[in-house]
Amino acid sequence: MRYRVAHTTVYEYSEPVTLSYNEARLLPRACPNQQCPSAALEIFPQPSDYREREDFFGNRVAYFSIRETHSIFSVTARSEILIQPAEAPWASQETGWETVRDTLWHLRDPQALDARQFALPSQLVAADAALAAYAAPSFQPGRALLHAVHDLMQRIHTEFIFDADFTEIATPLATVLAHRRGVCQDFAHLAIGCLRSQGLAARYVSGYIENLPPPGQQKMVGADVSHAWFSVFVPDFGWMDFDPTNNQVPRDQHITTAWGRDYADVTPLKGVIFGGRHHALKVSVEVERLDELNS
């Protein structure tokens, strides 16, 4: 599948900003089933300093600084993405989740070693007893890892209400769990917390989802905004994504921008400014399908 994505973020300030420093994780990274032939940022006003690099997790980061005094700041990321349908390892993966948990600590191959960091608590997602308790029904003894995770995803989808007004960026996971409400970011964090509470490695994926309602069905939630889901580490296979907001295993409609331990590692746009006083933030995303690949 081939997509064109435009992701625009606009800040409007009540007073002029004299200086700003920013970090964007808006340029989609390469993944096993995703290529990004072109991606660029359009920044207004023109930055006086701009540089791209890769971060600790291999995500693409753009650092820039604006010295021109301004009252409106906008960044548009335009990218083209190619996605091959992801293969799910259902058949080959009947390993019980406890076995996966217990062997994770002994694996020393580079991929598994790298995965181990995603089992540790992170800034926004620390496993605790409440998360373990919520996870427990899905993690019955002896159950195959992928079935357990799939069940967890389904339960989150059905037991939690999507409510864009309930949470904000700093809402703690405990509040989400207690009120059974949130948005995709919360659901991804929740699932990651549940998995970590079981000793499993899970990471946060930031990206977009195609806004293409199947005939006769409703538009999927998370379209036209930035989206997030989670991924679980499966030894001898790699990472497998799950989207609890839409209750689906991503195949070729999820476009990955970046991944990390949680949202704080992959915040699409961060900034520190001088001046500005109050500001308003607007985000819009357009995902356009260009043509179908291999079909």
Contacting residues toward other proteins, per CB under 8 A: 9, 11, 18-23, 48-49, 51, 53, 55-57, 63, 65, 67, 108, 110, 113, 116-117, 120-121, 164, 167-169, 183-185, 188, 206, 222, 225-228, 263, 265, 267-276, 279, 281, 283
Q: Where are the alpha helices (DSSP H) in the chain?
A: 97-104, 110-116, 129-135, 145-159, 173-179, 184-197, 263-266
Q: Closest separation between CB of residue 11 and other proteins, Å?
A: 6
Indicate the residue among 93 and 247 with the shorter CB distance to other proteins. Answer: 247
Indicate the residue among 48 and 92 with the shorter CB distance to other proteins. Answer: 48
- In the block, tokens 């992928």 appear at 146
CB 195 within 8 A of CB 187: no
From start to end of 45-115, where are the E strands?
Answer: 49-54, 60-66, 70-83
Q: Closest separation between CB of residue 179 and other proteins, Å?
A: 16
Q: Closest separation between CB of residue 87 and other proteins, Å?
A: 26
Residue 101 CA: distances (Å) to CA of 73, 91, 148, 186: 46, 19, 13, 24
Indicate the residue among 183 and 191 with the shorter CB distance to other proteins. Answer: 183
Neighbours of 97 (CB within 10 A): 24
Q: Closest separation between CB of residue 143 and other proteins, Å?
A: 25
Q: Closest separation between CB of residue 105 and other proteins, Å?
A: 8
Residue 100 CA: distances (Å) to CA of 157, 166, 243: 24, 35, 21
Indicate the residue among 155 and 196 with the shorter CB distance to other proteins. Answer: 196
